[in-house]
Amino acid sequence: MGNVYVITGRTDMRKSFDSLILLIQDTYQLDPYSKSVFLFCGRDTSKLKALYHDRDGWVLMHKRLDGEGRFQWPRSPSEARLITRQQLRWLLEGLSLDQPKAIKATGKKKDI
């Protein structure tokens, strides 16, 4: 699996393969055939869809939370937001993508 993109805002969850593929290509100018996962959420934040292309076809996964669970989906204007694997874990665990107390990597190595 390559990159993970969150399509922020609201997506019509009635959309299927072809409509989501066109949305990725036309609206966000991204390549749906890349080894990326694209995540979508509608008005009801207890459900999300994930679209992925493997070598010979499309995979569309749909997750619905039980009970009162809700995803903390970013409702900023629609954009394709590249997220890290850690942010994906936070999202799927019901946490916000932006954790204010998370330690941010600096990219610098220090000799000890």
List pLDDT tens digits, range 23-58. Answer: 999 999 999 999 999 999 989 899 999 999 998 999
Q: Is the pTM of this model over 0.75?
A: yes
List pLDDT tens digits, range 45-98. Answer: 999 999 999 989 999 999 998 888 899 998 887 799 999 999 999 999 888 888
Rounded to whole angstroms, the Cα distance separating 75 from 87 reads 16
List pLDDT tens digits, range 2-27. Answer: 899 999 989 999 999 999 999 999 99
**Under a CB-based contact definition with an 8 Å cutoff, are residues 103 and 84 in contact?**
no
Q: Which residues contact 14 (CB under 8 A, 6 or more apart)?
A: none
Q: In the chain, what are the domain boundaries? A: 4-92
**Under a CB-based contact definition with an 8 Å cutoff, are residues 30 and 51 in contact?**
no
- The DSSP element (H or E) to which 5 belongs, if any, is strand 4-7
